[in-house]
């Protein structure tokens, strides 16, 4: 069912057609040296035009909507292949049935699960992001996909968003810097990355109804930069619309697609709808979405008889085109973009065959996981824990054994294996004795309902206390999971505190054993009233196939932690900007929502309002210690086209090798417009042996300090005094230097 016609035969027919005069409508167009030669964009565009000339209206329309859950039609008579897609963003999803969300029951589709994108963001290592994309792209290629539905770059606005774990944090500069190499890495395989969800899809609650109202400044300065970087620097080939509305119009067919994305940014790729985010033929035809996927129609679910024909961009579109109600130019533009996608992917003769589950992929997954783990607290050097005879470590908590790649929505994966934290610790600790008990049970992991726990929670509690008493050290492995109302697509979290009675359990354990460390598995910030009860806390995120090994790498000290938080942890929910403005700001009233915090998202809010976070953006400890000194800038006065070179010395003052992330923020002194105290404009990760030091630098473009000026609907660089702030966390600044822009 999956293969309507063989792709290889299609490719050969297509190449043949290209090399004959069939498509060479204009004789002055040079013949394509295909497949060996380079194909220039001028030639390609001419070819695409000639293809469009020979396609019937029916064939064109058929290319603009789904033919199954995850594919669109090709044109068999011309050898134009189908387009096959798969979720993303942390691994290639298992095969899904042709017409239903159920898995297709294949036995050869188990993959490598890479760490969740929050973890990738926490590495602050763009090079690693490139490796992530490349290795994941190889798996997508092996699985014969053309488009990988990821990465997601929606900004972290509230810790309640069920999908934050799939995104790259709260800062537009960090998200932009990390997304570009990921895209390039995926696309090196001839697989399109599909950056999602454009735009303002910052919560799951009422996601397909909520209307977002936000200022132009916040739109351009906070919510769009990562998409812009994906398009202009990452040269992404596909982009996904979102479910929500923006200023009263659904974002999948919203004026911003033509205006901002396709015109201002010059995006030449395909806009794919989110699954069932198209709501009108006319709007979809006019406002920028090129491929309609996942729409529920009357036939869907009850019959497979031609229900795809009822999609907004199927028969209704064809009818309107035929009647002349919609111009044929509209469908031609969509088809042109789809053909570009096909040339870049399935008709790219140079793409390799891909790989899956090879050692290198597992190695890379582990490296990203260990580099992204963040050490949050380490009283009395609680971590690392040495493996020694006579030591008993109690591992307590459901997350020590729970599968964290199942559930969570469309990002859920079927990995070949998933090393749990308990398995990872057991594999690493050969001398110490590891004892384990579940501690709490949360219930089954399902998409849109909560299946209650079946075990007796009181008995689990009593047992946990008994086990904790017997141990020298307790590692509590808890946090959230991938069930509904946790870190999961489809709805948001409902409480900020730890769920499933974990706080009570931690308090109980601490009364009998003070040597308590916490491995926190979440994709979101949680309330931490329990923090003083612990000696050490490690934020481990969701780490995929190699989770347990990566956790053991850090707990044992085989790897020195160097991850930094990609979003702020508030002490209490109301300290978060979106929540502090009440219901209209989050989660919205009567399906309308105003982003009242405006540009003050994340640390911008904490800094500017002088609210102390629990843990700040950019924060993360090491088993070593570092000193940043001799911070200098190359000039004191700059003009618009200059670059600011910030140099500094980093020394490793501890007693083991490690890495420090030096962060460079900039703030305007006495601005004429509203500004955050400071904004991240650059960073670098410096690796150092113990006792060594290094001079490093970060270079900024003065033009990147502009703000979005709503009076002229464009960017303005304000003249006057600014400050550069250099430190190793947004709330730990070593040096502040004044400069001016003339
Ligand atoms: C999600 C997308 C996903 C798509 C296909 C949607 O519900 O929002 O991110 O790619 O489903 O599974």
* 619-644 pLDDT, tens digit each: 999 999 999 999 999 999 999 999 99
Three-class HEC string of 157-192:
CCCCCCCHHHCCCCCHHHHHHHHHHHHHHHHCCCCE
The residue to mutate among 117, 204, 489, having the most atoms of ligand 1 within 8 angstroms of its beta carbon, is 489
Q: Please say if the pLDDT value at position 660 is more than 50.
A: yes
CB 374 within 8 A of CB 122: yes
Query: Quick check: helix, strand or coil at residue 703?
Result: helix
Query: Quick check: helix, strand or coil at residue 735?
Result: strand
Structural domain total, the chain:
5
Residues 532 and 514: their CA atoms lie apart, in Å, by 11
pLDDT digits (tens, 9 = 90+) for 413-451: 999 999 999 999 999 999 999 999 999 999 876 656 667
pLDDT of 307 reads 86
Contacts of 103 (CB under 8 A, 6+ apart): 94, 95, 96, 97, 414
Note whether residue 121 is domain-resident.
yes
CB 326 within 8 A of CB 55: no
> Which atom from ligand 1 is nearest to the alpha carbon of 152?
9
Q: Which of 87, 171, 274, 575 is catalytic?
A: 274
Dist. CA 274 → ligand 1 center (Å): 6
Whether residue 328 sits in one domain with residue 184: yes
Q: How many CB atoms lie within 10 A of CB 608?
A: 17
Task: Taking residues 381-385, report their average pLDDT.
Answer: 98
Which tokens in the block code for residue 155? 């900004």
pLDDT digits (tens, 9 = 90+) for 219-236: 999 999 999 999 999 999
Whether residue 250 sits in one domain with residue 288: yes
Q: Please say if the pLDDT value at position 366 is more than 50.
A: yes
Separation in Å, CA 588 to CA 51, 156, 199, 347:
47, 17, 17, 45
CA end-to-end span of the chain, whole Å? 65
Q: Which one, of 222, 262, 257, 259, lies nearest residue 241 by Cα?
A: 257
| Structural domain harbouring 594 | 568-620
Which tokens in the block code for residue 131? 């490796």
What's the helix, strand, coil split of the chain in %, to 5? Answer: 30, 20, 50
Strand segments, DSSP code E, in 312-386 are 374-378
Position 296 confidence tier, pLDDT thresholds 50, 70, 90: confident
pLDDT of 305 reads 57
Residues 477 and 495: their CA atoms lie apart, in Å, by 19
Whether residue 407 sits in one domain with residue 428: yes
pLDDT of 10 reads 47
Give just the sign of the alpha carbon dihedral 54, 58, 59, 63. Answer: positive
Helix axes 126-142, 172-187, angle to 10 degrees: 40
Whether residue 391 sits in one domain with residue 294: no
Whether residue 590 sits in one domain with residue 455: no
- Name the helix (H) or strand (E) containing 607: helix 603-608
Which tokens in the block code for residue 549? 């090994």
Separation in Å, CA 208 to CA 204, 218, 239, 396, 617:
8, 21, 18, 39, 30
State yes or no: is 274 an active-site residue. Answer: yes
Residues 38 and 35: their CA atoms lie apart, in Å, by 8
Q: Please say if the pLDDT value at position 487 is more than 80.
A: yes
- Name the helix (H) or strand (E) containing 226: helix 225-232
Final residue of a domain: which of 306, 325, 344? 344
Note whether residue 223 is domain-resident.
yes
pLDDT of 100 reads 85
Q: Which residues of 503-515 are buried (b: 16+ CB within 10 A; e: fewer)?
A: bebbebbbebbeb
Whether residue 597 sits in one domain with residue 509: no
> Which atom from ligand 1 is nearest to the alpha carbon of 207?
8
Which tokens in the block code for residue 13? 């027919």
Dist. CA 53 → ligand 1 center (Å): 33
Residues 122 and 336: their CA atoms lie apart, in Å, by 38
Helix axes 225-232, 172-187, angle to 10 degrees: 30
Q: Which residues of 24-44 are buried (b: 16+ CB within 10 A; e: fewer)?
A: beeeebeebebeeeebeeebe
Nearest CA to ligand 1 atom 12: 410
Task: Taking residues 369-386, report their average pLDDT.
Answer: 98
Q: How many helices and strands (H and E) does the chain possess?
A: 19, 26
Three-class HEC string of 489-528:
CCCCCCCCCCCCCHHHHHHHHHHHCCCEEEEEECCCCCCC
Which tokens in the block code for residue 290? 């090129």
Strand 720-729 relative to strand 732-741, pairing: antiparallel
Owner of token pair 């990921």: 182
Note whether residue 367 is domain-resident.
no
436 CB less than 6 Å from ligand 1? Answer: no
pLDDT digits (tens, 9 = 90+) for 277-286: 999 999 999 9
CB burial of residue 102 (10 Å; 0-12, 13-18, 19+):
exposed
pLDDT digits (tens, 9 = 90+) for 663-678: 999 999 999 999 999 9
Q: Please say if the pLDDT value at position 4 is more than 80.
A: no
Final residue of a domain: which of 297, 325, 344? 344
Residues 361 and 417: their CA atoms lie apart, in Å, by 13
149 CB less than 6 Å from ligand 1? Answer: yes
131 CB less than 6 Å from ligand 1? Answer: no
Q: Please say if the pLDDT value at position 473 is more than 50.
A: yes
Question: From the CA atom positions of the chain, what is the Rg in Å?
Answer: 26
Whether residue 576 sits in one domain with residue 551: no
> Which CATH number belongs to the domain containing residue 324 in this structure?
3.20.20.300
196 CB less than 6 Å from ligand 1? Answer: yes
399 CB less than 6 Å from ligand 1? Answer: no
Owner of token pair 């691994």: 91
Nearest CA to ligand 1 atom 11: 275
Widest distance between CA atoms in the chain: 85
Whether residue 680 sits in one domain with residue 558: no
Note whether residue 519 is domain-resident.
yes
Owner of token pair 């996927």: 293
Q: How many CB atoms lie within 10 A of CB 474?
A: 30
CB 587 within 8 A of CB 177: no
Contacts of 534 (CB under 8 A, 6+ apart): 377, 476, 506, 510, 516, 517, 518
Give just the sign of the alpha carbon dihedral 435, 439, 441, 442. Answer: negative
Dist. CA 342 → ligand 1 center (Å): 21
pLDDT of 25 reads 35
For 246-302, the DSSP string reads ETTEEGGG-HHIIIIIIIIS---SEEEPPTT----HHHHHHSS--BB-----TTTTT
Final residue of a domain: which of 587, 620, 653? 620
87 CB less than 6 Å from ligand 1? Answer: yes
275 CB less than 6 Å from ligand 1? Answer: yes
> Which atom from ligand 1 is nearest to the alpha carbon of 490?
7
pLDDT digits (tens, 9 = 90+) for 125-174: 999 999 999 999 999 999 999 999 999 999 999 999 999 999 999 999 99
CB burial of residue 612 (10 Å; 0-12, 13-18, 19+):
exposed
> Which atom from ligand 1 is nearest to the alpha carbon of 149?
10
Dist. CA 277 → ligand 1 center (Å): 10
Contacts of 243 (CB under 8 A, 6+ apart): 197, 201, 207, 208, 250, 251, 252, 274, 276, 277
Whether residue 280 sits in one domain with residue 143: yes
Whether residue 135 sits in one domain with residue 269: yes
pLDDT of 22 reads 36
The mean predicted confidence, pLDDT, of the chain is: 93
Residues 195 and 239: their CA atoms lie apart, in Å, by 5
Note whether residue 604 is domain-resident.
yes
Whether residue 409 sits in one domain with residue 311: no
> Which CATH number belongs to the domain containing residue 559 in this structure?
3.40.50.1700
Dist. CA 313 → ligand 1 center (Å): 19
Residues 338 and 268: their CA atoms lie apart, in Å, by 10
Position 268 confidence tier, pLDDT thresholds 50, 70, 90: very high
Residues 723 and 677: their CA atoms lie apart, in Å, by 10
Contacts of 367 (CB under 8 A, 6+ apart): 128, 131
> Which atom from ligand 1 is nearest to the alpha carbon of 242?
8
55 DSSP 8-state letter: S
Dist. CA 196 → ligand 1 center (Å): 9
Whether residue 599 sits in one domain with residue 691: no
> Which atom from ligand 1 is nearest to the alpha carbon of 197?
9
pLDDT of 445 reads 62
CB 69 within 8 A of CB 98: yes
Task: Taking residues 564-590, report their average pLDDT.
Answer: 98
CB 646 within 8 A of CB 631: yes
The residue to mutate among 101, 149, 413, having the most atoms of ligand 1 within 8 angstroms of its beta carbon, is 149
Note whether residue 362 is domain-resident.
no
Note whether residue 363 is domain-resident.
no
Note whether residue 366 is domain-resident.
no
Dist. CA 576 → ligand 1 center (Å): 27
CB 200 within 8 A of CB 633: no
pLDDT digits (tens, 9 = 90+) for 16-66: 444 433 333 333 333 333 333 446 789 999 999 999 999 999 999 999 999
211 CB less than 6 Å from ligand 1? Answer: no
> Which CATH number belongs to the domain containing residue 694 in this structure?
2.60.40.10
């Amino acid at each position: 069912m999956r293969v309507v016609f063989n792709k290889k035969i299609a490719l050969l027919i297509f190449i043949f057609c290209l090399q004959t005069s069939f498509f060479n409508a204009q004789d002055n167009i040079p013949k394509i040296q295909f497949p060996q030669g380079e194909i220039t964009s001028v030639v390609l565009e001419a070819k695409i035009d000639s293809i469009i000339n020979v396609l019937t209206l029916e064939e064109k329309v058929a290319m603009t909507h789904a033919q199954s859950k995850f594919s669109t039609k090709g044109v068999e008579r011309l050898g134009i292949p189908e387009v096959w897609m798969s979720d993303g963003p942390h691994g290639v999803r298992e095969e899904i049935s042709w017409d239903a969300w159920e898995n297709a029951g294949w036995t050869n589709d188990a993959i490598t699960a890479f760490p969740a994108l929050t973890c990738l963001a926490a590495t602050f290592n763009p090079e690693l992001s490139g490796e992530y994309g490349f290795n994941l792209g190889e798996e997508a290629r092996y699985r014969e996909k053309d488009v990988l539905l990821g990465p997601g770059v929606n900004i972290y606005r509230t810790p309640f968003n069920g999908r934050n774990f799939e995104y790259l944090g709260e800062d537009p500069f960090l998200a932009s810097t990390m997304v570009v190499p990921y895209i390039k890495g995926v696309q090196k395989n001839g697989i399109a990355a599909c950056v999602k969800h454009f735009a303002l899809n910052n919560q799951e609650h009422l996601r397909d109804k909520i209307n977002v109202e936000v200022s132009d400044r916040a739109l351009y300065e906070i919510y769009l930069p990562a998409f812009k970087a994906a398009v202009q620097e990452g040269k992404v080939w596909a982009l996904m619309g979102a479910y929500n509305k923006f200023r009263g119009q659904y974002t999948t067919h919203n004026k911003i697609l033509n205006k901002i994305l396709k015109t201002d940014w010059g995006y030449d790729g395909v806009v794919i709808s989110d699954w069932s985010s198209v709501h009108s033929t006319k709007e979809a035809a006019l406002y920028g979405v090129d491929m309609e996927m996942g729409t529920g129609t009357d036939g869907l679910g009850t019959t497979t008889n031609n229900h795809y024909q009822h999609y907004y961009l199927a028969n209704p579109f064809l009818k309107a085109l035929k009647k002349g109600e919609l111009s044929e130019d509209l469908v031609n533009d969509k088809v042109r973009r789809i053909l570009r996608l096909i040339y870049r992917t399935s008709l790219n003769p140079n793409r390799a065959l891909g790989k899956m589950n090879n050692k290198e992929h597992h190695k890379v997954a582990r490296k990203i996981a260990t580099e992204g783990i963040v050490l949050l607290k380490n009283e009395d050097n609680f971590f690392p824990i040495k493996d020694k005879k006579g030591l008993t470590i109690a591992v307590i908590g459901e997350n020590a054994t729970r599968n964290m790649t199942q559930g969570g929505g469309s990002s859920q994966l079927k990995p070949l294996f998933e090393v749990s934290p308990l398995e990872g610790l057991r594999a690493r600790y050969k001398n110490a004795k590891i004892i384990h008990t579940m501690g709490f049970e949360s219930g089954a992991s399902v998409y849109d309902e909560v299946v209650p726990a079946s075990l007796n929670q009181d008995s689990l509690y009593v047992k946990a206390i008994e086990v904790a008493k017997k141990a020298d050290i307790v590692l509590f492995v808890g946090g959230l999971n991938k069930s509904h109302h946790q870190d999961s697509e489809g709805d948001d979290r409902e409480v900020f505190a730890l769920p499933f009675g974990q706080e009570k359990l931690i308090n109980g354990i601490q009364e009998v054993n003070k040597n308590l460390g916490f491995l926190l598995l979440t994709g979101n910030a949680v309330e931490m009233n329990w923090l003083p009860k612990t000696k050490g806390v490690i934020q481990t995120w969701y780490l995929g196939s190699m989770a347990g090994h990566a956790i053991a790498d850090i707990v044992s000290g085989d790897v020195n932690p160097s991850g930094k938080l990609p979003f702020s942890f508030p002490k209490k929910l109301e300290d978060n900007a979106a929540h502090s403005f009440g219901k209209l700001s989050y989660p919205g009233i009567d399906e309308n929502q105003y982003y009242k915090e405006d540009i003050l998202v994340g640390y911008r809010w904490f800094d500017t309002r002088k609210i102390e976070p629990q843990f700040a953006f950019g924060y993360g400890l090491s088993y070593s210690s570092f000193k940043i000194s001799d911070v200098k800038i190359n000039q004191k006065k700059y003009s618009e086209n200059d670059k600011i070179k910030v140099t500094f010395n980093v020394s490793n003052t501890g007693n083991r090798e490690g890495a420090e992330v030096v962060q460079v923020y900039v703030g305007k002194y006495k601005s004429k417009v509203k500004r955050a105290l400071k904004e991240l404009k650059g960073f670098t990760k410096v690796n150092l042996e113990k006792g060594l030091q290094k001079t490093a630098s970060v270079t900024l473009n003065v033009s990147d300090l502009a703000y979005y000026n709503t009076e002229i609907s464009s960017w303005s660089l304000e003249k006057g005094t600014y400050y550069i702030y250099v430190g190793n966390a947004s709330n730990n600044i070593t040096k502040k230097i004044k400069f001016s822009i003339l």
